[in-house]
Structure 1
Amino acid sequence: MNFQLTEEQLMMRKMVRDFAKKEITPFINRMEAGEFPREILKKMAALGLMGIPIPKKYAGAEMDFMSYVIAIQELSKASATIGVILSVHTSVGTNPILYFGTEEQKQKYVTKLASGEYLGAFCLTEPGAGSDAANLKTRAVRTGEYFVLNGTKAFITNGGEADVYIVFAVTDPTKGQRGISAFIVEKTIPGLVIGKDERKMGLCGSKTVQLTFENMKIPVENLLGVEGEGFKIALANLNVGRIGIAAQALGIAEAAYEAAANYARERKQFGKAIAKQQGIGFKLADMATAVEAAKLLIYQASDLWARGIPCAQQTSIAKLFASKTAVEVATEAIQVFGGYGYIKEYPVERYFRDAKITEIYEGTSEIQRIVITKNLLKK
């Protein structure tokens, strides 16, 4: 296993870093005020960032999976909001159609998603079905050439802004998990009710909404995959989704560490830079160690996934550790800044607010531990 980045991957990292500095950083205050970064996404589309790992035949950049992970990581260093918008759009908004869709569906939807013309979203979670994802109440009933969709989805990232939604609903309530199907749902189909945009602790520029489907008529040709295999489709995208969020967490942690280290070099107390005070120096050492370990775990999981090797355990370990690292490093960064770390003029309080969600979405830390335990007991 060689984690030495290729020339192409280094070019991706530099391009995204330069873009983030020039375009995203000046936009942060607008996102913090609640503005969705539509104009940033348009600029990302022009650079090919909305379809990094998608084949060129479907309007993607056809770059390797590690380049995609690096892009999420670097974008999230500047803005975790941008990182999660892209991760959801690609990992669980586009990939399900790419992997399970018909050629007609790929030509119709993946091309527009990969080019950035469309934004994607993923609708699995419901008010009563979070970690217990199979406990869905949303129903899709076949009526002639349509499925009539009724139900409510909660905490949908990109909700209301997305043009295409991957929606999971029960088509046969007698079959449990095997009675769940997946659908490609266009925003323009009558029957979609967009609920309130949740006021969140962090990720203030992203949209997190409740969606209600009221007698929405979905054409039969918008069934994704085979009827009854929806839960299989959802599970198949968990690994790539969790790697994306782990990369987001890594970006947050790196940004927090770098901000703390730079501040500690400049801030003087008791006649010397606080970085030279052992109490602060040890904090920085622990932060740097955790960030590097998280990076290696994520790169390992990414490498396995890209090579088609089963990696549920490695992915859960990476997601668990990276999210924990993001929260702990952001917390310690505030401590290094002292009182200034609690003030919005400095970025570390934003890293702290953005970090927490990485322990919750795409599978809570408790769910990751369950996955890890199950895999350990198989051996």
Structure 2
Amino acid sequence: MPLRLRAFFRLFLSLVLGCAAALHAPAALAGLKPNELAIVINEDDPDSVAVGAYYRQRRDIPAANVVKVRIPGKPQRLTPAQFRLLKEEIDSKLGPTIQAVLMIWTTPYAVDCNSLTGAYTLGFDGAQCAKTCAAGQPSPYFNSKSARPLTDHAMRPSMLLPISSVKEAKALIDRGVAAGFRTVPATAYYLATSEKARNTRAGFFPPPGRVPARRLTTKVIQGDVLEGARDVLIYQTGMAQVAKLDTLQFVPGALADHLTSLGGDLLGTSQMSSLRWLEAGATASYGTVSEPCNHWQKFPNPTVLLRRYLGGDSAIEAYWKSVAWPAQGLFIGEPLAAPYRATSRGR
């Protein structure tokens, strides 16, 4: 058995055996703070400017952490050369205390076959574009306990805060902020669907149960649709199109994503865009921007995501730590949402 396969087989066993432990993760006392997050604003996009100003005010982001760039024309995808210049410009304006980056716009969201967030954080992976279904480069941050990714792993996790409208973007930010004030009763829903090829994460679903200390219930459902739930903290499924989102109520800080090929192609029409999760009320989501095939490693691992989020990580930390091969994956939403961080109470 090749070394890479052996390593992932051991990882698979450790995660499956650790499912129950995910339900009893201790609260974190440290994690990403507002003064460690840089926000990047596109001055050629008035909505980016307006939402960036609102985010800075709501999250008390220091003025020194604001990076202003110009990206004319709102392209959906950048060429590697365009991306290199953008990354160099952003990085040149970041101080050594910046641990993560939030880009505030909808487009661009990809660099060739890479997501913008994957390329920014780990570097553009041109080899992945030669065969997008091939295995990805492993992320050193996967399932990490680190609260300082730049310090510990020489990388800055990044996220995109998309803007369907200024009003919706502000509501998304408000949900992230609200998540930090009190823990509400909630449920994590995991669906094993009839689309068998999209169920590769089902073996990592945490077992059904309750976590009284977090006021959380976990449910595993055999079915294609979740309908009428009013307490959604996590919703993970495998479908090209997810129905009945308009019947759901997401709690502040909710994370939701679907395993399908092109959820991260935000303005694409062939499959459901990850934007639909945010529009339905989730606070953060994830999707791939090019055909990844159904490698579970290219999508958020349910056990890792739950463990890290319950342990107090912010949305950007928990989501990034849950993806083993993130080059094609786009992380979107409000990064600082942290409903289970002990030190967040009373903010």
Bin of the TM-score, shorter chain as denominator length:
under 0.3
Report the structure number with the largest CA radius of gyration: 1
Larger helix percent: 1
Q: State the TM-score, normalizing by the size of structure 2.
A: 0.27
Q: State the TM-score, normalizing by the size of structure 1.
A: 0.25
